[in-house]
Structure 1
């Protein structure tokens, strides 16, 4: 089965290093015909230019992710348009798995699973969102695609760092609403598209790793710097999808945000005065959102030519298993081979230290932890194994989303 052409849109602001790492992972995708559109601030565009990657670059330096995504959509010439955050790195099979479901003409949107900072635990699996903006966990199989109907009242929520849409359908629905500068922007699109008919695909094996990097809205420890846009987006969302509930800031939202801040306060990350100021920002945002313009019109088709990223497509993979003493040599070897193959380095130390896993600035994947330590968070706390057997176990765990088997060793 041939895959539809695709455009991957990456929006970035004030994170040039993370953006470059994201693009390095995209360059190793096994989809053979896709382009990359980067919408970024001047620092981000300069960093992209320095990589030499043949991407479409659009300048934009405002704190409005919906407006930025629409600029990317305007340049996207693929049949399917996918979105990933700049602080995320995609598994090599991510895009092909996400795009494949659009071979079914009924599918209008799709989403995959997201792993968190440790590269092991899932940050996001699947859920539905209702017209009040509330999430509801969705029980889906984790080893195969599932298709879901929706409506303007409830639909599958496509997480913003791992989602794709039939480009024509997204444009016909008006794209992303710039009134949502941040928060609930994808949920709004999901309900609007579901109301038009069609299916949403949940693709568990289309996976990205999301770091939750620091931004203008949150610190690196995930403490929010402002709740204004959460309040504003909540007001906009309810005005459109549940106007009868837009009379006052919902107490459910107040309780949720207050509980989140209490957790940070109890960990010593913020103080009471800061907590009070953030809650005041939530209320101020609500008032602002009540006044934002609500108007959407269909977006025109992209007149831009399709500009596929060179050198993508299937390639072999290899896992280098080493101990701490051999770590430096293995990393050097991996860096020299990265790109030509999908390289994963597994560094096993003595003991029971939990594993961490992620994509590196060197262009390869790195997993580190104790030879007897926990990797899969559902697995045993203590692995009774040898280093060789542990390497095979980790290959099996990674194989569904990444090429890891090769009979040809890397040159040393």
Structure 2
């Protein structure tokens, strides 16, 4: 991989299955050469050690529920010139690491971020955004300059930095145990006048898996850390607006929780408890001191996760009733080291979904006449062969899919 050595840091707590899927996705990057540092709780470490490639990982213990401290531990272990971050409940497209390295190659960029796709594997969960000192997100154009008073927002599940830039601005603020830690870093990079960019080809799928802070349905279990980190962030970056912004935060969370009460995801008592946890967090955050560690010279050698490029991806396709056979075939191919993208369509206009399975293949399902790109028509008329060809073209840039001759 030209343009610099890439270290990827993954922090994981309480989600060993999601971590495994993330690491399997990283093991199928189209070009070998990046190293992977995993900072995880005991469950996550055990899961990582179950992989055949575990010996190529840099495994570190997570010491407490603090994502900023865990990311800083990952930075300290990383030997790359470029350090990227991805969440444990996310999976990168196979060309992600190439896109990251290409972005920094021959440029003076200090940091980048890229598209994050949501649970259906197609719709954009997070696109190009700017942010201000009051933590207000503002949509931005991918290639347009960021307006004065704003900086480019860096999404924690898909962001990368030059090590030299981190050495200049410092690591993640450990007073922010969770939430706004990436935004605080974006503000500090922007305030230092360092250039950043949005890289459309650096695509990550994000699942929003359950955690100690939320359920699988994204119902919060506690708002303490959101309150605490918001208080720290606003004190640093918008002290004159802090009171108003915190009031706005409580109002926004109340509105969000009330919608959940109306849809019976929460009851009134749980809503009150959650709002109390938010207020407790704000009080705790107002008493916390900002802690931004210096980024030191790497203390270990660069150790690539993949030693050789995987073979070009294989495309499998069939009707939905053939899915059991296709999955068995995909499983056998993956076990032989062959990346697989599987298409299975039914004769309906059902919307398409994409997911990276626990078995480590990409699976595309939906209607033969349904939309994959959600901006397209609700009903689309294709023959089966033409639809498979169209979907292969749609994913070719990020999946590394070549000619249709690779398709079965």
TM-score range, shorter chain: over 0.9
Alpha-carbon deviation of 1:372? Answer: 1.2
- For residues 228-243 of structure 1, what are the structure 2 equivalents within 5 Å? 228-243=224-239
Q: Distance in 1 between matches of 2:144 and 2:196?
A: 6
Aligned partner of 2:356 in structure 1 is 359
Which among 242, 248, 259 is matched to residue 252 of structure 1?
248
Query: Per-residue displacement from partner, 1:189-216 (whole Å, max 9, x unpaired)?
Result: 1111111122111011210110000000
Query: Per-residue displacement from partner, 1:288-347 (whole Å, max 9, x unpaired)?
Result: 101001243422112111000134536412321101232122112212222744311111
Q: Distance in 1 between matches of 2:376 and 2:318?
A: 22
Helix, strand or coil at the partner of 1:400: helix
Aligned partner of 1:404 in structure 2 is 401
Is 1:27–1:312's contact at 8 Å kept on the other side of the alignment? no
Aligned partner of 2:258 in structure 1 is 262
Alpha-carbon deviation of 1:225? Answer: 0.7
Q: Distance in 1 between matches of 2:243 and 2:375?
A: 44
Is 2:85–2:159's contact at 8 Å kept on the other side of the alignment? yes
Aligned-residue CA RMSD in angstroms? Answer: 1.9
Helix, strand or coil at the partner of 1:51: coil
- For residues 308-323 of structure 1, what are the structure 2 equivalents within 5 Å? 308-313=304-309, 315-323=311-319
Query: Per-residue displacement from partner, 1:43-77 (whole Å, max 9, x unpaired)?
Result: 11111111022100001142110000001001000
Q: Distance in 2 between matches of 1:261 and 1:278?
A: 9
Helix, strand or coil at the partner of 1:250: helix
Q: Where is the helix percentage greater, Structure 1 or Structure 2? A: 2
The two structures have a TM-score, normalised by structure 2, of 0.95
- 1:368 pairs with 2:365: yes
Q: Distance in 1 between matches of 2:129 and 2:310?
A: 31
Q: Distance in 2 between matches of 1:47 and 1:23?
A: 10
The aligned length equals 405
Is 1:34–1:308's contact at 8 Å kept on the other side of the alignment? yes
Helix, strand or coil at the partner of 1:107: coil
Helix, strand or coil at the partner of 2:227: helix
Which among 337, 346, 349 is matched to residue 346 of structure 2?
349
Is 2:317–2:344's contact at 8 Å kept on the other side of the alignment? yes
- For residues 87-166 of structure 1, what are the structure 2 equivalents within 5 Å? 87-140=89-142, 146=143, 148=145, 153-166=149-162
Aligned partner of 1:12 in structure 2 is 12
Q: Distance in 1 between matches of 2:325 and 2:69?
A: 45
Greater shift in the superposed pair: 343-352 or 64-73: 343-352
Q: Distance in 2 between matches of 1:56 and 1:5?
A: 15
Is 2:172–2:293's contact at 8 Å kept on the other side of the alignment? no
Greater shift in the superposed pair: 325-334 or 338-347: 338-347
Aligned partner of 1:178 in structure 2 is 174
- 1:274 pairs with 2:276: no
Is 1:98–1:164's contact at 8 Å kept on the other side of the alignment? yes
Is 1:355–1:375's contact at 8 Å kept on the other side of the alignment? yes
- For structure 2, list consecutive stretches of 5 or more residues without a partner in the other structure: none
Cα distance, 1:200–1:314 mapped onto 2, change above 3 Å: farther
Cα distance, 1:315–1:158 mapped onto 2, change above 3 Å: farther
